[in-house]
Structure 1
Amino acid sequence: MRILIVTTGSRGDVAPFTGLGRRLVDAGHRVAVVAHPTFAALLESCGLEHWPLPGDPEELIRARARATSPEEIRALMTAFVDGLADGVADAVAGGADLLLTAFAPSPLSLTAGDAYGVPVLGTYLTPAFATTEFPLPGPAGGADLGPEGNLAAGQDRLRGADRMFSSAVDRMRERLSLPGRTSPEPLGHTRPVVHGYSPVLLPRPADWPAPVDVAGFWWPARPLGWQPPGDLVDFLQAGPAPVFIGFGSMAPGEGERLGELVTAAVRQAGVRAVVQAGWAGLEAAGDGVFCVGDVPHDWLFPRTAAVVHHAGAGTTGAALRAGVPAVPVPVMADQPFWAARLHRLGVAPQPVPFADLTAERLAAAITAALAEPVRRRAAAVAGLMAGEDGAGAVLAHVARIAEAPGR
């Protein structure tokens, strides 16, 4: 089948789909990932086709930080979402037998699937159905509000997501000559959704709709032919396992400030460190510090003593898989939620919100993460996750769709 994977956002919203895409290719499907142009090299290096999706998520983050009013932020988001709608419509018009969609663009994927008669399978990286068991990722950060409060908070989050895309969906339906103004029924009610995170980290709620599953993480693919840099290998072998420090796609433009903070924290904690630049352009200095660009987490993290990260879903999973403690420094979106889950699971100390980050607090959190009880718990959780095959669950759904009557 010709399969399109539709996703939007930062690198953490794209990288997990490289591994899922490779599994689909290996199963005989032709796969293209519909994502922003900044990820073209990543996708192509993993042997996947890329269909460009308008918009630059890094610039959007910068523009939101510069915005001086809620009206300006709304205008930025409206223009961004309108571009996504055009990109999704163009991609599906090019031909597809099946759409796999992340949660954020799912209203657009469903509308395009409706217009072109293409089935849609939800492939979500974060929980996206209201439940009494926890509030959905958002400002509450995963704090239990009680059954009624959790459900209400989740429903409010979903209504907000609907509002963000409603005008773009209306324009899209008009462009594609779909009758009426009613959007298609969201995924999960009668059509399946697979969540790509581990049930060890967050078990499936009992009150979710039957077609909604939690299957396990989709691990990013390594670029074809990738080999570790020799100087990085030498650094890792020259002393005790270092602490990894990186904030992924967060804090663009704050590299100098963060570099000074990280340098001081590493010195205070008395550890070696591998520091990843990310979108912040983070660099640190000093003895026992090595700065890197993109390095596959599945190779690097098992060689570290702990992972300091922004608690995005993908990096959260990679640290859990490696069996090393985490130091979560959440910035926004779903990150406070995952940071709270890591602490509750016993594999991380109390999260340090990015807005409150200081060298002293980071050094103290690193020291706490390296304590023996946290290290033992991290290794135990990795063992519990070892048998999961999240991508395999998606492939099983794809096989059923391919065998359905009329396909």
Structure 2
Amino acid sequence: MATIVIVTVGTRGDVVPYVALGSALRDAGHCIDVATHTSLRGHVESAGLGFVSLPVEFSTGPDTRPLTVRRFARVLAGRWLDIGRAVAAASVEADLLLLGGMGWIGYHVAEARKIPSIGVFLQPLDPTREFPPPLLTTRSLGAWGNKAAARSLRLLGQLPFARQTAALRHELGLPAAGPTAMFRRMEAEQWPVLYGFSPAVVPSPPDWPVWRRTIGYWWPRADAGLSPTLQHFLDDGDAPVYIGLGSMSPPGAGDLISRTLTRLGRRVVVQRGAAGLSAGQRNVLVVDDEPHAALFPRVAVAVHHAGAGTTAAALRAGTPSVCLPFTADQPFWAQRVAAIGAGPPPLHRRALTPGRLAAAIASAGGYREGAALIGSRLATEDGVSQAVAEIERRLPVQ
């Protein structure tokens, strides 16, 4: 039995897949702790996993500013040293660290503890000639430009954290090493990364080395059912449209959705989310958190922000998506939905109007065959089991 600490930073969608992975590792006989935000503690402990609090929170909601990439990085950088200390304290007895995309401070902790670490990412973060860095653009810069841009963005992304990272390395008794040295070391030691999304959605780039593995989604366990109110609504008529914008909502989203609803004339389930969406129409039901795994197979179209987890749930359900990407990796996932024929081209914020959104929803039925095809493909994959096998293969000999 190994003691494994999973480090993940972000919103709910950045934690749920790791809870699924941690649960599978626990079932395989390992002791699992998940280090994340206190506000997400319930997701961890309800799965029977150990919880470690990271000293940072990202406030979201209708009365807060949108959680943009810039704001996310600023909040995170302000607590980076304290986060590193928390990871160091949590890993005293650890045999292995599993590090989410924004949990890479644990790489330095693992070096100090002389234990292995593995990247467990939900977005394609490694440079490749095949596509540009998802956090920068969805427009190809050419083979050389795509790879160069990803390398440059990766280094620039370290700058807000460089001083605190250097301080942590000093506290841990490690020699000074800047971002360039860190990435060179990762390449030299063939630092492994497991990608928790499907190669049917993002084919593994041929220029990625073998220690970068795209192995399939880490689906949450389908323990929770739908609320009685939602279940009754779904049973009481035709399959509705779903509209939800998750934890990162653009300004004016509530007004846009409200004006769109008056045009649709269809049954709709609206998830309140960070935008505080609401509706007064008789054929519209407003809900709070509901399990997407149970809801999306029951809806005709899923209108969403193209966050990684929501996009994956819609694809798994074989439900067409209408994507309204706003920030971060959302434009990338929205583009992938269109590329694989599971939904119309994404509607970007600057060109978004109630009329265009209503038209996209009306057109989404034409993508049902493509969505069903990718859903059947995902049903054959078991990313969690593959991840467990890869992780156990890299565990130190007990």
2:30 paired with 1:29: yes
1:308 touches 1:327 (CA, 8 Å); kept in 2?
Answer: yes
> How far did residue 61 of structure 1 move?
11
* Kept after mapping to 2: 8 A contact 1:138/1:333: yes
> Equivalent pairs: percent with the same residue?
39
CA distance in 2, matches of 1:138, 1:66: 14
Q: Could you tell me which amino acid in structure 1 is paired with residue 356 of structure 2?
A: R
Residue 398, structure 1, aligned to residue 391, structure 2: yes
Match of 1:200 in 2: 200
Residue 303 of structure 1 deviates from its aligned partner by: 0.7
- The answer to whether structure 1 residue 109 and structure 2 residue 106 are counterparts is yes
2:239 to 238, 241, 244: 241
C-alpha distance 116-292 of structure 1, shift in aligned 2 (>3 A) = same
Instruction: Give secondary structure in 2 for the equivalent of 1:58.
Output: coil
Q: Tell me the matched-pair count.
A: 392
1:378 maps onto 2:378 in alignment: no
Structure 2 letter corresponding to 1:25: R
Residues of 2 paired with 1:109 and 1:343: CA distance? 35
1:65, distance to aligned residue in structure 2 (A)? 5.5
Taking the aligned partners of 2:132 and 2:75, their CA distance within structure 1 comes to 27
Task: Tell me if the contact between 1:121 and 1:187 (Cα under 8 Å) persists in the aligned partners.
Answer: no
Q: In the alignment, which of 125, 129, 151 is matched to residue 126 of structure 2?
A: 129
Conserved 8 A contact 1:36-1:54 = yes
- 2:169 aligned with 1:168: no
Give distance in 2, aligned partners of 1:197 and 1:58: 27
Q: Does 1:228 align with 2:226?
A: yes
Q: How big is the alpha-carbon RMSD for the aligned residues of Structure 1 and Structure 2?
A: 2.5
User: What does residue 86 of structure 1 align with?
Assistant: 85
**What's the counterpart of residue 261 of structure 1?**
256
Q: Which moved more, 1:265-274 or 1:127-136?
A: 265-274
- Please state how far the C-alpha of 1:64 moved relative to its aligned partner: 6.7
2:313 is aligned, of 304, 313, 318, to: 318
Check the 8 A contact 1:189/1:211 in 2, yes or no: no
Q: Give, in angstroms, the shift of residue 269 of structure 1.
A: 2.4
Q: Equivalents in 1 of 2:197, 2:12: separation in Å?
A: 16
Q: From the superposition, tell whether residues 295 and 170 of structure 1 become closer, same or farther in structure 2 (CA, over 3 Å).
A: same
Q: Extract unaligned runs of 5+ from structure 2.
A: none
Q: How far, CA to CA, are the matches of 1:34 and 1:57 in structure 2?
A: 15
Name 1:96's counterpart in structure 2. Answer: 94
Partners of 2:187 and 2:316 in 1: CA distance: 29
Secondary structure class of the residue paired with 1:321? helix
Q: Distance in 1 between matches of 2:336 and 2:107?
A: 30
CA contact (8 A) 2:243 2:268 kept: yes
8 Å CA contact 1:187, 1:193 repeated in 2: no
Output aligned runs, 1:281-360, within 5 Å.
Answer: 281-360=276-355
- Assess, with a 3 A threshold, how the Cα gap between structure 1 residues 187 and 231 changes in structure 2: closer, same or farther: farther
- TM-score in terms of structure 2 length: 0.91
Contact 1:188 1:211 (8 Å CA) reproduced: no
Distance 2:82 2:157 in 1: 17
Give the secondary structure class of the aligned counterpart of 1:143: coil
Q: Is residue 96–residue 115 contact of structure 2 (8 Å, CA) maintained in 1?
A: yes
What is the Cα deviation at residue 123 of structure 1? 0.5
Counterpart residue number, 1:13 = 14
In the other structure, the counterpart of 2:5 is 4
Q: Shift of the alpha carbon at 1:111?
A: 0.5
Q: State the distance in 2 between where 1:288 and 1:263 align.
A: 13
CA distance in structure 2 between the aligned counterparts of 1:155 and 1:60, rounded to whole angstroms:
34
Query: Does 1:46 pair with 2:47?
Result: yes
Q: Which range is displaced more, 277-286 or 128-137?
A: 277-286
1:208 is paired with a residue of what secondary structure? coil
User: Following superposition, which runs of at least 4 residues in structure 1 exceed 4 angstroms of deviation?
Assistant: 59-67, 72-77
- C-alpha deviations, 1:160-185, integer Å up to 9, x for none? 22323322221111111123435652
Counterpart contact for 1:64–1:73, Cα < 8 Å: no
